[in-house]
Structure 1
């Protein structure tokens, strides 16, 4: 299947974005041979900085297979931003859809047209305190199982040193290095032609996230935590801690009042 031309809008964006990226960060890019030369595929990438979509897009742009990122459908509707999103071929996600697969219909269509769709499977910036990938959401797994396309895991590190997660000011000096490592496609064949249950999607997503994490271990030269950070589990634990603290305060309050009345 022929791949889509890069087009005016993507080249225009590259002209604007590449010069500051070249100035601000050095590059240590590996694994470009794993980016398919033809046909539709998915890349699944860890997310640890508001800068890394631009830095990663620069990496993949240089392979000749530009990534089409997923974004909220509302961004495509009006003004210059909407024109740029449409012109660069970014992928709208229809979160208002009641059918989870329909929410990713545009991504499925793009893969079937021979495009590369870039997923941040964590869904947001990692909240792991040490920057490791969190548990993933199932969107990439849904598209992968529906299309049976190659799923290329990619790890990146360094943009987060330029602009840490949730930071407001960049750390410009010393000049940071953006490290990217793409690996061979994840083997998901054992999940094909099975009912797309929540359990299957969860298992598929865990396999995808494990592949990304192994690549990041290679980049960082250290082991990731045995269990990935799970925001939902952390919220539950935080709620329990808050409730336990409130309970202790309620049980201690009467004793304190009695002491005050006896003085």
Structure 2
């Protein structure tokens, strides 16, 4: 389906817990991103909206360790607990902090939710910012139109792991996970992803994140695929 190209694949850890934070531009993102993780010898665990966990497909997803998210609900926190357990077990968790495909008409990241930051600050996982570009050419989420093609491009730039050691030490010492701290960490992670996306696209990124939709509830802190 995709012609996948990676930059800096050597940065992907071959062992230990990894939290991949990526921009979200297509309903097909998990397919191409799974290939990225597989190609580096790891098994990905995605957070995905619970509506896809139905019937046979749902059984397969659950057996593969994928994590359902009850989006726009306070129950989304249960998915973060499952993702936390996966990271504690040394697995790779892929999360799209935006929570759904970006609404920016030019495909730049929109303001993200803070669930990924909570995971990043309460585990010892390597936090790996990943930018992607290309899957949106197969399906335009904004117009809902498919553009069938063989081997659509999917370009990935794997960034340097984020150094959160100082803040993690403060959290372990009792610093509370306030809304401000989670927002600051979220914007740090997504700012790195945005900069990498600008490098992939060869054009400057906007200074601010696109506003996110207003429909979710305050308890929805997840970062599921949509």
TM-score of Structure 1 vs Structure 2, range by shorter chain: 0.7 to 0.9
- 1:121 alignment partner in structure 2: 97
Q: Distance in 1 between matches of 2:155 and 2:120?
A: 26
Contact 1:95 1:103 in 2 (8 A): no
- 1:184 alignment partner in structure 2: 160
Q: Distance in 1 between matches of 2:204 and 2:20?
A: 23
Residue 86 (structure 1) aligned with residue 62 (structure 2): yes
- Deviation of 1:158 (Å): 0.6
- 1:27 alignment partner in structure 2: 4
Contact 1:97 1:103 in 2 (8 A): no
Change (3 A) 1:175 1:108: closer
Equivalences for 1:86-105 in 2 at 5 Å? 86-93=62-69, 98=74, 102-105=78-81
Q: Pick which of 83-92 and 219-228 moved more.
A: 83-92
Tell which structure's C-alpha radius of gyration is larger: 1
| Structure with greater strand share of residues | 2
Change (3 A) 1:161 1:149: same
Residue 142 (structure 1) aligned with residue 123 (structure 2): no
- Deviation of 1:71 (Å): 2.3
Q: Pick which of 67-76 and 38-47 moved more.
A: 67-76
- Deviation of 1:187 (Å): 1.6
- Deviation of 1:159 (Å): 0.7
Could you say what the CA RMSD is over the residues aligned between the two structures, in angstroms?
2.3
Instruction: List structure 1 runs of 4+ shifted beyond 4 angstroms.
Output: 73-76, 94-103
Q: Distance in 2 between matches of 1:95 and 1:172?
A: 29
- Deviation of 1:174 (Å): 8.6
- 1:229 alignment partner in structure 2: 210
Q: Distance in 1 between matches of 2:58 and 2:152?
A: 32
- 1:169 alignment partner in structure 2: 145
- Deviation of 1:96 (Å): 8.7
| Structure with greater helix share of residues | 1
For normalisation by structure 2, the TM-score amounts to: 0.83
Task: Give the count of matched residue pairs.
Answer: 209
For normalisation by structure 1, the TM-score amounts to: 0.72
